[in-house]
Structure 1
Amino acid sequence: MAELKQTQLHQAHVDAGAKMVDFGGWEMPMQYPTGIIAEHLYTRHGCSIFDVSHMGRLIIRGPERVGFLQHVMTGNVQALKLNQAQYSIIPNEQGGAIDDAYVYRFEEDYFSVVVNAANTDTVWEHFSEKIKDFDAVMENVTPLWAAIAVQGPESKNILQRIVGSVQLTEPMRNELNTLTVPSLDNMVMRIAKTGYTGEPIGYEVYVKSEYARKLWDRLIEEGARPAGLGARDTTRLEAGMPLHGHELGQDEEGKEIPIFAIPLAKFAVSFAEQKGAYIGRGQLEKQQQAFLRIHNRDFSDCAALPRRIMPITLLGRGVMRAGCPVLKDGKKVGYVSSGTMVPYYVSEGKGLSTKITEQINRRSIGFCYIDSTILTDERVQVDIRGKMVDAVIPEFHMKNDAPPYTRVILYRQKEDEPAEKTIPGQDAAYKLIGDTLSNHIWRQEECINLIPSEMSASKAVRMLEIADPSFRYAEHRKVASFYDEEIFYYQGTEFIGRVEELLMEEMKRYLGCREVETRVISGQMSNTCVFSALVDFKNRLNRKREPRRLGYVLNNHIIKGGHLSAQPMGALKDYIAVDPVTERKAVVNFPVCAEDPYRIDVEETKKIIDEYKPELIIFGKSMVIYREPVKEISQFVREMGYDTNIMYDMAHVLGLIGDHFQKPFEDGADLVTGSTHKTFFGPQRGIIGGNWKETDLKYELWETIQSRAFPGSTSNHHLGTQLALLMAVYEMNAYKDKYQKNVIASAKSFAQSLNREGLRVEGDPALGFTQTHQVIVNVGYGTGPEVAQRLEDNNLICNYQATPVEEGFTASGALRLGVAEMTRFGFTEKEFDELAGLMAACILKGKNVKDEVIKLRSKFTDMKYCFDDSRMSKALEDLGVRLGL
C-alpha cells in the first residue's frame, strides 16, 4: 500500500486525539474525541475549524489563462473581478463532471483553482493535456499553502479578534481579501467568504504552510473547535452541497451523472458567448433545455436529464445510506446517493422571535438520484436492508438566508388549519375601533418614535386626507390637440385640479426645480416611473424591436445603506440589462471609504464612472448620515462629456432640502425622487422633480416620466392624500428653515449624548457623527433585532439595521435612529440628552425605563411647525363638523 499523504496540520490532529482515516490517499481526521454530533452542532452555533489542506490548489498563469479556464470550466471566469470567487464544474465531453471546483482571483495576474483531494491528480492530468493549446502555465501549490475552513456564526468574531480592526472581506458570499496579520508574525492570510458547510458566516483561510499550526492553535485559543470529515459530510448534506463520487461523477450503473442533475448547475454553468465551444458545451445545452422543460413540468423528453439529484427525508424510523433503492408505487425510481442521521437543535417560536433551544433531536436526510418526473413534496419509499420506510422529497433541508445562523427546515405536511372563530360583524367592528384607539394612544402619546422613515402628520393634514376627494377619481393627461392642456376624464374635478396645480407650484418652490410630478403615490413608485421612462426614452426612435434595457447603473449597494428600490432586486429589476460578459445585472456600486464605510469615496467613484460610463447614477440611501457628493460627481460627469442621468432618491432626506443640508438641483441632479412622509410633513406619497427646460433634448424624457405616472402607473392617484400633501407643503415652506436647523442640531446633539453614555455611535465625530436626521448606534454583531425589541418593550421605537460590514438584517448589529418626528413634537437638545440616558440604561444595563419614557413623552403630544393660530383652529373645527368628527 502506498504511504498516506499528510497535511501540514497532521500533528495537530494527532495531538488532539483525532480518529485518523484514509481519505483519498490522505490521512485525515474523521472525528475528534467529542464526536461527530458535537462537532456538527458546534459548527451550527459556534465555530468549527476544518483542515482542508488536502484539497488540491492549482495556480493558472499566463496571457491566455482566462481562455484556458473558459475552455475547461463551466463557469464564466471573465465575470470574476479582483477579490471574487466562483463555484464551477470541470466538465467532460459527455456533459458529466470530472470534479466540481472553486475558482479564486486573489491577484490580477493569476487564478487559483481548488479541487477535491481525491481528484487532484485526475484534474492535473486533464488540465495538463488541455493547457498545451493555450499560452498559459499551471502550478500545483498544494504543499506550499495550508487551508483551514472556519465555519459557524462565531467565525467572523473569532477571525476579527485575530486580524484586528481591518475588514475580513466584503460581507457578501464569494468575496476575497488578502491580509497581513501582525499578531501572527505578519503572516499573509488569504481569506475567502466561502465554505462547504452551508453556514451564512463562514470563511476558508489560506496561509503558507509554516504558519498553519500557529493559526490553527490561535483559532482554538479564540474559541474555535476542530471538526473532522464526519461533521463536514453531515453539514454539507444539510446545506445541499454535492460530493464527487456521490452526486457528481458516475451513477451506480457506471453512467455519467449529467451536470444539470445537481441543483447548483444553474449557477455553475454559463453559456456566455465569450466562452466559445468549451468542453461539453453541446451536451450541457441539451441538459439545460431538458431542465427547463422539466421545471415547467413538461416530461415529454427527459432523455438528456432522465434523473436528478434531489433532497430526501425519511418520515419513518431508520437511517438511509448511499445505495439504498428509492421506490414510488412499488417501482424503483432511483437510489440514495448520500444519506445519514443528522443532529439539530430544536427551535421554538416564529419569525424573529424564534429561539434555538438546547434540546437536541436527529433526522435522517440525504440526497437521492431519482427520475426527473418525481416532484418536490412527493412521497416515496426507501428500501433499507429490505424494510420499506416512508420518505418525502422536500424542497431543501436547511436555509441560510437569516444570518448569522443556519435554519433547519423540518418537513411538515401541508394541512388545512382550522379557521379561527369569527366575531359577529358589529362586535368585530366595535373591537376594531377599540383596538385602533388603543394603538393610537400607545404610539402617539406613550411611545417615543425614532424610526427615521416615519413622520406623524399635523391635524390639518390628517383631516384633509379624509375629506371628499378621498373617494373620487381625477385621471388626466396633456393632449396635444388642445395645446397640451390637461384634459380630465371625470366630471366634478375642478377643485382637485386646482389643488394639483397649487401642489406642483409649491413643490417646485420647495425643491428648487422647474417640473414636478405629484401623482405617484409612493417613493418606490417614483423610482419605478423614472426607470420605466428612461427605458422608454432610450427606445423612442425604434418601436419595432424588442426594447433595450438600461445599461450600467451606479448606485449605493443595499448593504452599504442603499435604497431597496434602487437595487436589481427592487424597482430596478425589470429595467436593467444583463451584461453579456459578466452575465450579471448591469449595476455597479459606489465605492466607500475604507476608514468610514458610510461615506462615498469620490476619487474611486470617478474611476468607476470612467470604466463603466453608467447611463444612470442613483444617489440616496435609507441609512444616510452624510451629504451625498452630487456636486463633485455631476461636475466630473459633465466635464468628461458622459451622457449620464443623475438621480437623487431623497426619500429619507426630502424634508431637509435647503441651506442646512443639501440643495440637489443646485448640486447638479437631473431628477429628484422621494417619499413625502419621512422627514417631510406629508401623508404617505411620492414625488418626482425634474429640472430640464422645454427647449432641452431631455425634456422629452420628462414628458415620458409624466406618462409613466399616468397612465403608466396609476389610475386613481389617491386624491385625498394629494390634497393633504398640499397642506404639508404649505407647512414645510413656512417652517422649513427653523425645522431643518433644529432637526440637524438635535441629531448631532443626540449622537454626542449617546456617545457620552457609552454607546458606540457610527460616523465622523468631527462632524458630530451625522449631517442628517439619522444617528447610527452599533450595539454588537447580530444583536440588533434583540436590542430593538427590548427598546420597543420600553416604548422606544426604532429600527435594527445592518452596518456596511454585516451580511443582512437578521445579522444586524446596529440601530438606526431618527430625530425628525420627535423634533416636530417639540423635543430639543435637552430632551434628546435625557432620552440618550434612558436608552443607554436600557441597552447597556438592561434597565426597565418604560415608565420614564411614558412620562417624558406625555409632555410632548402637540405638533409643532404647523399652522395653529385661532383662525386655523376655527377652520379645522368647521371642517371637522362637516366630516362628522
Structure 2
Amino acid sequence: MKKTILHDWHKKHGGDMVEFGGWEMPIRYETGIIQEHLTTRKYGGLFDVSHMGRFFITGEQATDFLQHVLTNNAAALETGQSQYTIISNENGGAIDDSYLYKINQSDFILVVNASNREKDWEWFQKQIKQFPKARLEDKSEVISMLALQGPKAKSVLEEIFQDVTELPDVGRNNLSVTEFESEQVIISRTGYTGEPLCFELFVPREKTVTLWEKALRVGKRHNIIPAGLGARDSLRLEADLPLYGHEFGEDKEGKEIPILAIPLAKYAVSFSRLKGQFIGKQALKRQFRELKQLENKRKCAKRYLPKRIMSIAISTIGAARQGDGVYINDRLIGEVRSGSMVSYWKFDKEGVTSHITEEKGKRSICLAYIDSETEENQEVQIHAKGRILEGIIVERHLSSEAPPYSRTILVKKREKHVEEDKGLPLLMENLVKETVENHVWRQKKTINLIPSEQTPSKLVRFLTLMDPSGRYAEHKIIEALGESEIPFYQGTEFIIRKEGLLIKEMAKFLGCSQVEPRVISGQQANKTVFSALVDYKNRLDKKTELQRLRKVMNHHLGKGGHLSAQPLGALRHYVMRDPVTEKPAVINFPIQKDNPYKIDLEETAQLIDDHKPELIILGKSMVLHPEPVAEIRKIVDTMEDKPVLMYDMAHVLGLVGPYFQEPFKEGADIVTGSTHKTFFGPQRGIVAGNMEEGTKEYEVWEAIQREAFPGSTSNHHLGTLLGLLMATYEMNLYGRAYQKQVISNAKAFAKALRDSGFTVEGDPDVSYTETHQGLEVILQRWRIAYQRKSQNL
C-alpha cells in the first residue's frame, strides 16, 4: 500500500491505519471519529488528504484540453480561482469528480479521488493526444495536500503566515500562492466538510511534516486537532457532498448513475459555447432537459434521469446504510447510497443572537438514490437490517450561510399555531404601550451602535406627520406643454413647490445641478440609476430585447461594498452575464496590500483598460477613507467610450464637504444616497447629477427622471419629503460644524480604543479613520451584534 509523507507521524500519534484507495491512511485517532467530527464543527480539524491525486496541466493548450475532458467551464476561471468539476464519459456518467485550480494563466492543478487516480490518468493519456501543446504531470508524490477546516482555521493560518493578505480573498474557491520556509505553498478556500471557513494547502513534500506540526502547535491554542478519514466522511455526508462509489458510479443494479442526478453537479456542468463539443455533452444536455422539467414539476419521461440523489432525515432510532431500500408505503423508489448516525452541536436561541453551546445531539441522516419525481417533505420508509426507519425528504442537512459555524438543519414538527383571541381593543392598547416602551428604550436608555441609523430633529419628525403625508402628487415634464412639470392631481401646489425647494437646497448641499428627490430609499435610488442606464443604452432600438450593462465595476460585498450595488442586490436585473465566466459581468476594485480599506489605483487602471466597464460604482458601507473620485476620473477621461462614474454615498452623504470630500468637484457623474444615515433626515433616498443640458450625458439624467416616475415610484411619500426639506435646511445651516465634529469624534474615539488595548483597524497616520466610522474586532468577545463592522462614532 502507498503511504503519505505523514504516515509515520500518524502511527506515532495514535492513528488507526486502514486501507483506502490503495493507501494506508488514518481512519481515526485516539480521540475517535465522533469527537473529531464535533471538534471540526466547533473549532477545526486538520486532515492529511495527500492520498488524493494531483495532476498538473500546463502549456498553451491546457485550457483547451480541460474544456474537452471536464464538464465545467475551465475558461471561466481567473488566476487564483477554483471550481468543482466532473470527468464525464460519453454516456453522461462520471469517471470521477474533481476540483480544478488555476494557478496562473496556463497552469492548473486537478485534484481527483485517490481510488480513481490511475484510471483517471489513463483516461487523460488517451485524450491529451489531441492537444499536443498541453502537458500533463502526476505530482501526487511530490506535492502533499492538507485540509484545515472549521471556525478557527483562518486564525491558525493567519498566525502561521503572519499576514492576512497572504491568504486567499474572502469567498469560496479563491486561492493564493505564498511561501512557507522559502518554499511555495498554494492555499485555497475549498474543502470537503461543508464548513464555511475551509482551506486546503498544496505543500512541497519535504515541508509537509513541518507545516503539519506547526499547524497543530498553533491550532492547539484554538482546540484544533488532527482528524481522520472517518470524520471526513461523516462531515461530507452531513454537508450533502457526493462520494465516488456512493453517489457517483453504479447503483445497486449495476446501472450508471447520471451525473445530473447529483444536486451539486448542476454547478459543475457548463454548456458554454466556449467549451465546444466536450466529452459527454449531448448526454448531459438530455439529462439537463429532464432536470428542468423535474424542477419545474412538469411531466417528465424520466428516460435520462429516472432517479436522483436526495437527502433524507430519519426520525426513528437507527442508521441507514448503503444498499438499504427506500419505500413510499409499499412501493420501492430507490436505495440508500450513504448513511450514518451523526453527532452535532446544539445552538442556543435563534437568529443573530444564536451561539454554539456545549450541548450535543445525534441524528440519523442519509443520501439516497430514489425516484426523480419524489418531492421535498415526502415521508418515506427505509428498510434497514432488522427494522423499518421512518424518514422525510429534506432539501439539505447542513447550512453554511452564517460563518464562522455551520449549522445543523433539523426537521421541525409542523405545529398549527393558534393565535389567542385577546380582542382588538386590547391588541390596540398593547401596540401603543409596547411602541412607547420601545421608543423610550431606543431613544434614552441604550447606546445605538448601528451605523445606518440617524435620529432626525423633532422639527423634521413633526413635519413628516403633516397634511401632505398620505397624499399623492405625481408630476411629469410634458414636452408638448412647454417642458412644464404637470401634476396629475389638483390641490398639490404646496407640496410641488416644496419639492422644488428641496431640489434647490439639496443641490446647494451637494454642489451639483440636478437632484431627483422622489426615490424613497438608497436602494431604490441605485435601482433607478441602473434601470435608467439600461434604458439609455437601448434608446436607439426599441424593437429588440433589451441589452443589459455589459460590464460593471464595484466594491466586493465582503470588502465593504454596498449590497444594493451587487448582482444579488439592486444590480441583479441590469447587468449581463459574462459569456466567459457565466457569472454576472462584474469586476471588483482591487485593494491595497498594506491598507485593505483603500483602492489599489494602479491595478484598477489596468482592470478598467482590460474590461472597459460601462458603469463604475464607488462607495462602501464599511468606509474609513474618501474614495479616489478624482483619480478614477482621470483614468476614465482617457477612454473613448467613457463609463458613467457613480458614487453611492449612502453612509457618507451627510459628510459631503471640505472635511471629507466633494464628489462632484472631483468628477463624479452621479451620486446616490440615503438621507437618514450621516445625513440627519427621514428615511428616503436621492439621486443627484451634474450634467449639462444638450449633452448625451443629460439624456441619462432625463432617463433617471423617467425611471423615478413613473418607472419606480407613484406615491413618493410626501410627508417624509417635507421633512427632508427641513433636514436639508438644517444641514446647510449647521452641517459644516456637524461634519467637522463627527470626524473629530471618530478619530478621538478610535485612538482612545487603541490606547486602551483594543485592536483598531485602519491607518494610524490619520487616527485610524477619515469618516464617522471606526473598525475594531474586540467587541465580538461580548457578542455585540457586529464583528469587524463599522460603528458610528
TM-score when normalising by structure 1:
0.87
| Aligned-pair identity (%) | 50
Counterpart contact for 1:779–1:815, Cα < 8 Å: no
1:70-149 pair list within 5 angstroms: 70-134=67-131, 135-149=133-147
Report SS of the residue matched to 1:788.
Answer: coil
- Deviation of 1:453 after TM superposition, in Å, equals 1.6
CA distance in 1, matches of 2:15, 2:450: 52
Report SS of the residue matched to 2:678.
Answer: coil
CA distance in 1, matches of 2:79, 2:409: 35
- Is 2:333 aligned against 1:322? no
1:308-347 pair list within 5 angstroms: 308-347=308-347
Counterpart contact for 2:290–2:300, Cα < 8 Å: no
The residue that corresponds to 1:43 in the other structure is 40
Deviations 1:727-748 (A, max 9, x none): 1111111112212121212211
Report SS of the residue matched to 1:754.
Answer: helix
- Deviation of 1:431 after TM superposition, in Å, equals 2.6
Report SS of the residue matched to 2:468.
Answer: helix
CA distance in 2, matches of 1:580, 1:558: 22
The residue that corresponds to 1:16 in the other structure is 13
- Is 2:211 aligned against 1:237? no
The residue that corresponds to 2:528 in the other structure is 529
Counterpart contact for 1:337–1:369, Cα < 8 Å: yes
- Is 2:188 aligned against 1:192? yes
Report SS of the residue matched to 1:574.
Answer: coil
- Deviation of 1:386 after TM superposition, in Å, equals 4.8
One-letter identity of the residue aligned with 1:653: V
The residue that corresponds to 1:207 in the other structure is 203
- Is 2:190 aligned against 1:216? no
The residue that corresponds to 1:518 in the other structure is 517
TM-score when normalising by structure 2:
0.97
CA distance in 1, matches of 2:414, 2:543: 48
The residue that corresponds to 1:413 in the other structure is 413
- Deviation of 1:439 after TM superposition, in Å, equals 2.1
- Deviation of 1:358 after TM superposition, in Å, equals 2.1
CA distance in 2, matches of 1:61, 1:757: 53
1:780-795 pair list within 5 angstroms: 783=780, 786-788=782-784
CA distance in 2, matches of 1:154, 1:165: 16
One-letter identity of the residue aligned with 2:567: P
One-letter identity of the residue aligned with 1:204: E
- Deviation of 1:687 after TM superposition, in Å, equals 0.4
One-letter identity of the residue aligned with 2:719: G
- Deviation of 1:450 after TM superposition, in Å, equals 3.7
The 10-residue stretch of structure 1 (100-109 or 128-137) with the greater mean CA deviation from structure 2: 100-109
Deviations 1:392-439 (A, max 9, x none): 1111111111111110111123332232x2433233323322222222
- Deviation of 1:175 after TM superposition, in Å, equals 0.9
- Is 2:551 aligned against 1:567? no
The 10-residue stretch of structure 1 (353-362 or 753-762) with the greater mean CA deviation from structure 2: 353-362
CA distance in 2, matches of 1:63, 1:385: 55
Counterpart contact for 2:676–2:683, Cα < 8 Å: yes
1:254-293 pair list within 5 angstroms: 254-293=254-293
CA distance in 2, matches of 1:66, 1:390: 48
1:385-534 pair list within 5 angstroms: 385-419=385-419, 421-534=420-533
CA distance in 2, matches of 1:16, 1:474: 77
CA distance in 2, matches of 1:86, 1:322: 28
One-letter identity of the residue aligned with 1:216: W
CA distance in 1, matches of 2:353, 2:164: 32
1:524-563 pair list within 5 angstroms: 524-563=523-562
Counterpart contact for 1:777–1:815, Cα < 8 Å: yes
The residue that corresponds to 2:791 in the other structure is 817
CA distance in 1, matches of 2:17, 2:259: 32
- Deviation of 1:355 after TM superposition, in Å, equals 3.3
Gaps of 5+ in 2: none
Counterpart contact for 1:19–1:29, Cα < 8 Å: yes
CA distance in 2, matches of 1:321, 1:445: 59
- Deviation of 1:772 after TM superposition, in Å, equals 1.0
Report SS of the residue matched to 2:752.
Answer: helix
Report SS of the residue matched to 1:448.
Answer: coil
Deviations 1:815-843 (A, max 9, x none): 42213xxxxxxxxxxxxxxxxxxxxxxxx
Deviations 1:692-744 (A, max 9, x none): 11111121111111111111111100000111111111111111221212121
Deviations 1:201-251 (A, max 9, x none): 111111111111112222222223121111111000001110011111111
The residue that corresponds to 1:248 in the other structure is 248
- Deviation of 1:118 after TM superposition, in Å, equals 0.5
CA distance in 1, matches of 2:282, 2:269: 12
- Deviation of 1:49 after TM superposition, in Å, equals 1.2
The residue that corresponds to 1:625 in the other structure is 624
The residue that corresponds to 1:861 in the other structure is none
CA distance in 2, matches of 1:672, 1:228: 54
Structure 1 415/449 Cα, relative in aligned 2: closer, same or farther at 3 Å? closer
Pick aligned residue for 1:65 from 37, 62, 86: 62
CA distance in 2, matches of 1:107, 1:704: 43
CA distance in 1, matches of 2:716, 2:14: 71
Counterpart contact for 1:46–1:153, Cα < 8 Å: yes
CA distance in 2, matches of 1:659, 1:353: 40
One-letter identity of the residue aligned with 1:118: S
1:721-870 pair list within 5 angstroms: 721-779=720-778, 783=780, 786-788=782-784, 800=786, 812=787, 814-819=788-793
CA distance in 1, matches of 2:638, 2:686: 29
CA distance in 2, matches of 1:34, 1:662: 58
Deviations 1:468-502 (A, max 9, x none): 00021101111111012111111110101111111
Tell me which stretches of 4 or more aligned residues in structure 1 moved more than 3 Å: none
- Deviation of 1:511 after TM superposition, in Å, equals 1.2
- Deviation of 1:171 after TM superposition, in Å, equals 1.7
Deviations 1:564-610 (A, max 9, x none): 10011100001110000110100000101111101111111101101
CA distance in 2, matches of 1:416, 1:635: 63
RMSD of Structure 2 on Structure 1 (CA)? 1.3
Report SS of the residue matched to 2:606.
Answer: helix
CA distance in 2, matches of 1:531, 1:667: 22
Report SS of the residue matched to 1:326.
Answer: strand
The residue that corresponds to 1:835 in the other structure is none
- Deviation of 1:283 after TM superposition, in Å, equals 0.7
1:175-190 pair list within 5 angstroms: 175-181=174-180, 185-190=181-186
Report SS of the residue matched to 1:622.
Answer: coil
CA distance in 1, matches of 2:750, 2:16: 55
Counterpart contact for 1:598–1:625, Cα < 8 Å: yes
Structure 1 400/174 Cα, relative in aligned 2: closer, same or farther at 3 Å? same
Report SS of the residue matched to 2:363.
Answer: strand
The 10-residue stretch of structure 1 (553-562 or 342-351) with the greater mean CA deviation from structure 2: 342-351
Counterpart contact for 2:622–2:789, Cα < 8 Å: no
The 10-residue stretch of structure 1 (442-451 or 456-465) with the greater mean CA deviation from structure 2: 442-451
Counterpart contact for 1:299–1:373, Cα < 8 Å: no
- Deviation of 1:762 after TM superposition, in Å, equals 1.2
CA distance in 1, matches of 2:216, 2:776: 31
CA distance in 2, matches of 1:37, 1:778: 32
Report SS of the residue matched to 2:696.
Answer: coil
